[in-house]
Chain A
Amino acid sequence: MKHIDLIKTLYANRHLIDSAFNGEDIENLPSELIDDIGVFQKVAKKYELSDMYVQFANTMLKRVDANYTFGDYNEEIKLLIKQKEDYLGTGDLDILNRIKSLVRTLYKKIEQRDILINARINDIINDNDLSIERIIKDAQDVDSRIGELIEAHSENLKIFGKELRGIDDELDEILVSISIDMLPFTNNIHQYNKRLSDFILRTEKRKQENKKLSSLAFKIIKEQDYELKSLLLSNTQLYHHTIKERRIGFVQYLPNLLELKRTTFLEALSRVINVQKVERKANNEKPYKISDETTFKAVKLDNIYQDINKDKPEDVYKYILKHKEIIKFKEDGTDKNYAFKTYLTVVQDERNNIVFNKNFNNKQIRIAKWI
């Protein structure tokens, strides 16, 4: 068989090989897959993908082999303890050098393990091709192994930090430097544990959701979705709803007959807005006031001149004060005021008809005589 024939055979059986790769049991295997190319091996009466093929597939897919066992390095630790005792017993420098070398190797392995665990977790989390069941199983396996490693790791730290200290200065220096470099791994391994546990929980939840989703979808298609309908109708206050989705927007609320009744409408309205109660009895106070009748009074000088010419008084002021033109101001109390103004006007205008006396009358006004 040529290489191209191998590829053709693999392609022709791709679904079967893929199922086996995903962990399913395979029955009725075509003989070409057993006899010609040996992709499958018979293990305990069952056919499984050969280890060689699984390794090849994982390498090509840049995965850490799903069956890769993350080492706890107990053997190496035991060996270190033994070598320490041997060195203390014999003082053989070769043994000391072996211890130094083994400590370095162990550190490299732990660093490598950290990278591989991270890669494995990323594989599990990002693998969208594997079935959800398979992914949960893988995640659980790795998670439980990490649990064991956390314990082993703290043992390793104890050996590096205490057991091997104090036998040689150079070894101490190496151990101190390694212990510092190991700090991130200690942190990481706890994070991996948390990350995987979260992932498992989330994936389990999705698995349950998918089961329910497909069950309900089947019921809807078969029109046996009574539970869904009754749930939706019984809980509208909790579920998403507007009357109609409108492209333009705005909820259109169409009132029903009951709501259109005047009393219900007013009640609803009064709940929403705060209406000020208006007094039934209107206030009859008029906003304007009828003005009082006003009489305009004025002194008619002509009448005064006429009378003054006729009577020729000895004291013009006293005469004017008693004249009827002035008397009419008496009720306002302004008669004296007007009398004096008139007196001034008269003495001013009719200077030729006036003779001023040197004396003042009892109102302290100069006596003027009309001639």
Chain B
Amino acid sequence: MDIAKAFEILSQGKIISSNSSNYSEISNMLLTDSFYNEVDELVQKIGYRLIEEAGYFYLAKKNKLNTTEQQNFIKKNSDLIIAISFLRQLYPRLDRGNSISFIDTVVNYGNIKRDDSSIRDKLSYFSWIKNKDDEKGMMEQLFKHLEDKNIIEKIQVSNTDKYKVLNSISYYLSIVDTVEKGEE
């Protein structure tokens, strides 16, 4: 793992969690101060900052965003907040390091929906889910989305049922916490 490789991964907009198996090499390297500083120094030169928070790393932009960037940024965060809220409605104590099963989630969804139909609104919120009739298909897409955004990852590549919740979930929870502070 050298700086170029680390930069390539971070520049894709990924949040690298230190409990991720897929990115264990880069997260271990970033935990080394000297490597972290080197990468930070490099990205600072092109207007970014390398940020480390509780168990995850990401790149932040120093300058103001333009309108398109703003829209994408808001959409991405809103989508993930809804997705995490959906998972927490099914598993109220779900947190980083826990594992979830896709099949259990589908069953759980069915049970919860009977009592509280509002959970369906969350699932049908996402604009990237086209077919809103097939609920299992929708949940497959939701899991895929969460996996793409590095919030969950397969515990084993061959097993499409068991997923691990990554540290990056805390990033979104902390945004929610900040926004809703005034509501307390």
Contacts and interface: CB of A to CB of B under 8 A. Distances in A.
Interface of A: 128, 131-132, 135, 202-203, 206-207, 209-210, 212-218, 220-221, 225, 227-229, 231-233, 236-247, 249-251, 253, 256, 272
B177 interface: yes
A245 B178 CA distance: 25
Contact of A233 (B12, B70, B121, B183): B70
B183 A241 contact: no
A247 B149 CA distance: 12
A228 B179 contact: yes
A80 to B, nearest CB: 43
A220 B121 CA distance: 11
A231 B82 contact: no
A358 B69 CA distance: 114
A236 B64 contact: yes
Contacts of A242: 11-13, 48, 59, 61
B145 interface: no
A240 B59 contact: yes
B73 interface: yes
Contacts of A238: 51, 60
A237 B49 contact: yes
Interface residues of B, number: 52
Contacts of B93: 128, 132, 135, 203, 206
A221 B86 CA distance: 12
Nearest to A227: B179
| Majority SS at the chain B contact face | helix
A212 to B, nearest CB: 4
Interface of B: 8-9, 11-13, 15, 45-49, 51, 58-62, 64-66, 69-70, 72-74, 77-78, 81-82, 84-86, 88-89, 91-93, 95, 118, 121-122, 125, 171, 173, 175-180, 182-183
| Majority SS at the chain A contact face | helix
Contacts of B175: 228, 231-232, 239
Contacts of A245: 12-13
Given A228-B179, A236-B60, A246-B12, A128 B91 contact: yes
Given A132-B93, A231-B178, A241-B69, A210 B88 contact: yes
Given A209-B176, A212-B177, A240-B60, A249 B12 contact: yes
B81 A217 contact: yes
Contacts of A237: 49, 60-62
